[in-house]
Structure 1
Amino acid sequence: MSAEQDLAARVVELVRHVAGPGAEAEVVVTRTDLALTRFANSFIHQNVAETGTAIQVRLHVDGRTAAGGGNRIDPDGLSALVERTRAAARVAPPDPAWPGLTAPTPTPSGPAVDEATAFASADERAARVRAFVDAVEGLEAAGYCRTAYRSGAFANSAGHSAQGRAAEAAMDGIARTGGADGVARHCADRLADLDGGALGARAAAKARAAADPVELPPGRYEVVLEPAAVADLLQNLAWFGFNGKRYAERQSFAEPGAAQFDPAVTLVDDPLHASTLPFDLEGTPRRALPLVEAGTTRAVAYDRRSGAEAGTASTGHGMPGGSTFGPIPHNLRLLPGASDAVDAGVAAGPVSAGVTGAVGDPDAAALVAGVRRGLLVSDFWYTRVLDPKQLVVTGLTRNGVWLVEDGVPVRAVRDFRFTESYPRAMGPGRVLGLGRSPVRQPDRVDGSWWEAPALRLSSWNFTGGASG
């Protein structure tokens, strides 16, 4: 039994003692070791690391539910946490929709943890930063390299328990020349798999290729989106579409059973594809959840409460804030194309004949080669939802946009503002190609990531320049 599992079991016993045998309780204990090395102006300016243990308790007693949290693991701290939670339950409103506790259920062990990543040193992260800075060859560089380790345990008063460990590493960096930026990102289970030199070279090549952009008129353009831009599509689809709470409130585009996407699109929320804790906040085992299969929407995500209200089971998406935001998939994969899914235009000619370095992703190069006239887009940012039901999103491009003519990026373009329905843009007949090699993109939240190949779409609605 791990230290976290022992601690969770002790808190459950404390709840029985304080609230009585009729109380229902669930406890999550998570130890985290987080470390971050940040750099700007091509030098490291911050190394930070923290280690801590967090305890979350949810208690249902006398028909009322309350939750509490803390980070003191001494006997007095644990007792105070349980007493606070019990006191909150006394004044909470009745909770007739309480879904009950997760029954004892086998939990998968999850992928193996790379110990070298879990407890990496600042010097090891700095070595990746050094490689990134050296590779940009005199351009300004900024970004971070981070490592994270989590050891977690769950216990409830129904006798269910689970434990797991997870580690991840991520690097996100830009290179800048004049007013042009290039970006490269990667998230992996092992720090050893982060190649700072390769990321720096890619970011620098894109920054140089983005110099002296021209202004193009707004309108609908065929696009090739690199994995960083596709990650924004996945994140918004997850938050506002495949969210069981929003679906129940009729605020989601999702229609399970309907062919809402192009047949090339298969989306899976697949937490155990990478190192992550194998259970959610309610102790439900995590598993792969097919959301879209060959263009047909199949499912949305549920926690225990939203699942019970929908007459179905939890899909393993209990999370902090779920009662407010709903259950959200956080490990979404857009599965890559088959051998014939990448556009046949790959033979049209070398991308290097145009703006050298514009294409930062090898798959994107194959897709670009089939474009007669369109845009290559590196990244999206500052995206905001205008219409959640249709998932119409507005946002900006960044870190490089290029005009493509006859399969070749011919010059850099100034950033655009866009307004587009993400599901419609990926709808039937609109996906012209998918890359074969997905790239995992880091999220701001540890344990969350978005994995996708490059994506070619028939149309994207650009509504103006970035300034208005």
Structure 2
Amino acid sequence: MSPDTAVRSETAERVLQAARTAAGGSADVDVTVEHEHLALTRFANSYIHQNVASDTDTVTLRIHADGRTAVNTTTVTDDAGLAALVERTVAAVRLSPADPGWAGLSGRAPLPIPSADPDLATGGAGPEARAEQVKAYVDEVTAAGLTAAGFYRNRLVVTAYANSEGQAVHGTVVEAAIDGIAKTATSDGASRQASRRMSDLNGAALGARAAAKALASQNPIEIDPGEYEVVLEPTAVSDILWVLADYGFNGKALTEGTSFAKLGDQQFDPLVTLIDDPLSGPAAGPLFDAEGTPRDPLHLVRNGVTQAVAHDRRSAREAATTSTGHASASSATDGAVPINVRLEPPVTLTPTEVDGPAADSAVQGLITKVHRGLLVTDHWYTRCLDPRRLVMTGLTRNGVWLIENGEITHPVKNLRFTQSYPEALAPGRVLAIGTHAPAFASKYGAYSAMAPALHLAGWNFTGGASG
């Protein structure tokens, strides 16, 4: 156990015992102590303009007593701050409304064993290490006569959890991510990637890819809206995976009837196998959730058949099943969702291959199979129109090209789409899956996705970017 983890585990146990004493021995109590180190380097106009770093300690105390539940959080972690946290949470639980959905605390259970220990050097890397990769990215872009912008971040999260049922676990999550664009007067090219190890990220290769995309998408043409055969690059597919996770593989949404998911049904093409996996691959993920429940790999879809959704203890109780280890601070209201989703490729490349010629040839191999369609780099500003069918609207971004007879012929102006994501992946609609699944980190939360490229029979484009 690292010293930081030991300190946070001791703090969790100390707050737990104080809360049990104050609330009475029959109360259910759990405590989460989290430390997050987040460091960020931003660059624009091809130079670094900002380095920032923050270290935040948070203690969350939850008490359930006499059928009522109260939760409080503090970032003041000295003795006085922790005592005040206990005092106000005990006072709040006495005034809280009845909580009929309370499902009890997680019992003692061991954590799964990850494929590798967290790379603490990545989590604690300083601005010099980030600047080295940013320079490599920018040098490739400026060598092509373009300007670069983006960010490079690294984060380390140490979490300790303890409850009155005897469950006490701790863990560390590490992540590094780079996200950038290259710009011309009429086009952008983007590239991004995330990993548990900084050594997996190749700034030069990513910069070269962004520059090549920007140059290739200059002076785009307009095309008529309609349904087109598409090759979606991994960056666009990551959006599909996060949307499926949030709206579809959400146990609360399934119970309430707002999810498309139908357990046991062949809802997807047989090529589709979707797993929520915190243990393997370059995507970072915690080994337990906010309720201390261990997280094992969860097969959401196997060979096209929907098999599972994510649950916390509340939604699992409602569905007469068990928690899958996906509780979060907001899952009681928003539902539990998968957070480390991987679409299985037919062949998995090593991390060093996903930025090089092998990765580009994987997309190129899909392009050669298209008679007439579109190559799409990115989705942007996607919004849900119909959660039951999971119809989304959004825009393409950072490069779209017309494919004719297996070759890219013209860059295309950005398009608006309106498309049911599950229906796009339905039986017979997935024509091929790329041979690698690079990892991406969400800008909007602690989510990751491992996404290969997709060749789909159709995607519904409803207009230009302006409407």
State if a TM-score over 0.5 links the two structures: yes
Q: What is aligned with 1:31?
A: 35
Are 1:226 and 1:361, in contact at CA under 8 Å, matched by a contact in 2? no
**AA partner of residue 8 (structure 2):** E
Match of 1:441 in 2: 440
- Aligned residue number for residue 327 of structure 1: 336
Counterpart of 1:305 in structure 2 is 314
Partner residue, 1:47? 51
3-state SS, counterpart of residue 361 of structure 1: helix
Amino acid at match of 1:251: T
Structure 2 CA distance, aligned partners of 1:421 and 1:437? 24
Deviation at 1:441, TM superposition (A): 1.1
How far apart are the structure 1 equivalents of 2:224 and 2:57? 53
Structure 2 contact 113–279 (Cα < 8 Å) conserved: no
SS of residue in 1 equivalent to 2:9: helix
Where does structure 2 lack aligned partners over 5 or more consecutive residues? 349-355
CA shift, 1:150, in A, is 1.2
The CA deviation at 1:447 is 3.9
Shift of residue 444, structure 1, vs aligned partner:
1.7
Give secondary structure in 2 for the equivalent of 1:389.
coil
- Shift, 1:166, TM fit: 1.6
Deviation at 1:96, TM superposition (A): 2.1
Distance of 1:385 and 1:290 partners within structure 2 = 24
- Deviation of 1:97 after TM superposition, in Å, equals 2.1
Partner Cα distance (2:361, 2:47) in 1: 29
Q: Residues 44-69 of structure 1: CA distance to partner in whole angstroms, max 9, x if unpaired?
A: 11100011211111110111001010
1:344-386 residue CA offsets vs partner (Å, 9 max, x unmatched): xxxxxxxxxxxxx9x9833111100111110000000100000
Report deviation, 1:109: 4.4
TM-score in terms of structure 1 length: 0.94
Are 2:194 and 1:191 aligned?
A: no
SS at match of 1:247: helix
- State how many pairs are aligned: 450
Give the drift of 1:17.
1.8
2:123 matched to which residue of 1? Answer: 118
Indicate if the aligned counterparts of 2:267 and 2:304 stay in contact, CA closer than 8 A. Answer: yes
Task: Give the one of 141, 157, 170 matched to 2:164.
Answer: 157
Show CA shifts across 1:290-343 (max 9, x none): 00000000011100000011101000000011112110111100000259xxxx
CA distance in 1, matches of 2:71, 2:427: 44
Contact 1:416 1:466 (C-alpha < 8 Å) held by counterparts? yes
1:216 to 212, 215, 223: 223
The residue identity in structure 1 corresponding to 2:292 is: G
In structure 2, distance between residues paired with 1:454 and 1:80: 51
User: In the TM superposition, what are the counterparts of 1:222-301 in structure 2 within 5 Å?
Assistant: 222-273=229-280, 274-301=283-310
1:184-228 superposed Cα distances (whole Å, 9 cap, x missing partner): 000011111111110000000000000010000000000000000
Query: SS at 1:129's partner residue?
Result: helix
Check the 8 A contact 2:230/2:376 in 1, yes or no: yes
Q: Is the contact made by 1:112 and 1:275 (CA closer than 8 Å) also made in structure 2?
A: no
User: Contact conserved, 1:202 with 1:360, CA < 8 A, in 2?
Assistant: no
Which amino acid is the alignment partner of residue 38 of structure 2? L
Contact 1:148 1:446 in 2 (8 A): no
1:180 correspondence with 2:179: no
Q: Secondary structure at the match of 1:90?
A: helix
Report the equivalent of 1:132.
137
Check the 8 A contact 1:379/1:400 in 2, yes or no: yes
Given that 2:347 and 2:436 are in contact with CA atoms closer than 8 Å, whether structure 1 keeps it comes out as: no
Give 1:65's aligned residue: 69
CA contact (8 A) 2:359 2:436 kept: no
Separation in 2, partners of 1:84, 1:179: 57
What is the 5 A alignment of 1:338-349?
none
Cα separation, 1, equivalents of 2:57 and 2:445? 15
User: Is the 8 Å Cα contact of residues 151 and 166 (structure 1) preserved in structure 2?
Assistant: yes
Deviation at residue 277 of structure 1 after TM alignment: 2.4
Distance 2:58 2:347 in 1: 43
Q: Which amino acid in 1 is paired with 2:322? A: A
Would you say 1:337 and 2:346 are equivalent positions?
Answer: yes
Q: Give the unaligned 5+ runs of structure 1.
A: 340-356
- Once residues 347 and 54 of structure 2 are traced to their aligned partners in structure 1, the CA distance between those partners, rounded to angstroms, is 43
Q: Which residue of 1 aligns with 2:365?
A: 366
User: SS where residue 26 of structure 1 aligns?
Assistant: strand
- Say which SS state the counterpart of residue 279 (structure 2) adopts: helix
The residue type paired with residue 166 of structure 1 is V
Q: Can you list the C-alpha shifts for 1:25-46, whole angstroms capped at 9, x where unaligned? A: 1111111111000011111111
The alignment-based identity, stated in percent, is: 52
